[in-house]
Amino acid sequence: MTDGVPFTKMNGIGNEIVVLDMRGRRERVTADAARAIGQTPGAHFDQLMVVYDPVTPQTDAAMIIFNIDGSESAACGNGTRCVGRLMFDESGKDRLTLQTRAGLLTVREAGDGLVTVDMGRPEFAWDKIPLAEPFHDTRAIELQIGPIDDPILHSPSVASMGNPHAIFWVDDASAYDLGAIGPMLEHHPIFPEGANISLAQVTGPDSLILRVWERGAGLTRACGSAACAAAVSAARTGRTGRTVRVSLPGGDLLIEWTDADKVLMTGATELEHRGMLPGEIFAPRAAVA
């Protein structure tokens, strides 16, 4: 029987993260294992960050990311920052390159306990997000909830930050039952791979309030990739500049959309506790590349 596997419970401004360091181990994490881990006392998560030995030269580790329902996510900015913090403290490095399904992500120390992750380039083409049908202008697509002549929500901006996002612009992000609306929109036919659904309230030329229904996780106190998608969409539609402080229920993230078309996300992380998972959850190790 496989020995127990240690885990670290963290959060990135309230985004519940569990980190499994599987480097040098023979086990692998399956979707069934991820769901079982999420039901283990003390190990509930929004995202599970599984860290494996590097498979590409000049990288520090490979990561597979699971949502609480066992589905995979290509990107999780807050989880990546949590992994970065653990690896910085372990190695003494101040910069890392991590391989994910969304590509290579660079993480660096930002001072004062903050961590910055380069989330890469945003994608706005309809077939790259992806959407089920063509839209020439994804700054606002034809999608609404409620009566045609008086919709509750309508005309979201859509983008991909390694995963699909829809951002509805509202006057008051707290005035909607996102717990009821989110599931309907996450699985709307226009999103063949589902979507993260955000309500964004512009509060100034460099600030947003954001609430997020996260694909595969539900209501969340924070979602880093959603903050990035909202920030670049706000700049793209002329609502803000290219550097924005995004306030989520769990805290603030600073998002910068650089002239080089990279999205940098900076924020805090917190170590909550460590624990042990039963070895029988895991499957024999297989390739993760």
Mean pLDDT of 169-188: 96
With b meaning 16 or more CB within 10 Å and e meaning fewer, what string describes 261-277?
eebbbbbbbbeeeebeb
pLDDT of residue 283: 74
Active site residue 76: yes
pLDDT per residue as tens digits for the range 2-23? 578 999 999 999 999 999 999 9
Contact 93, 118 (CB under 8 A): no
For residue 286, pLDDT beyond 80: no
Among the listed residues 37, 96, 223, 281, the single catalytic one is 223
CATH of domain 144-261: 3.10.310.10
Among the listed residues 76, 209, 228, 277, the single catalytic one is 76
Name the pTM for this structure: 0.90
Active site residue 223: yes
Options 3.40.50.300, 3.40.50.1370, 3.40.50.2000, 3.10.310.10; which CATH number does 5-120+270-284 get?
3.10.310.10
Counting Cα atoms < 13 Å in the Cβ hemisphere of 255 gives: 38
Domains 5-120+270-284 and 144-261 fall in the same CATH topology: yes
Mean pLDDT of 226-251: 97
pLDDT per residue as tens digits for the range 251-268? 999 999 999 999 999 999
Residue 68 burial (C-beta neighbours within 10 Å; 0-12, 13-18, 19+): buried
Which residues are CB-neighbours of 175 under 8 A, at least 6 positions away? none
pLDDT per residue as tens digits for the range 123-136? 999 999 999 999 99
Q: Are strands 27-28 and 47-52 parallel, antiparallel or unpaired?
A: unpaired
Domain residue ranges of the chain, discontinuous segments joined by +: 5-120+270-284, 144-261
For residue 69, pLDDT beyond 80: yes
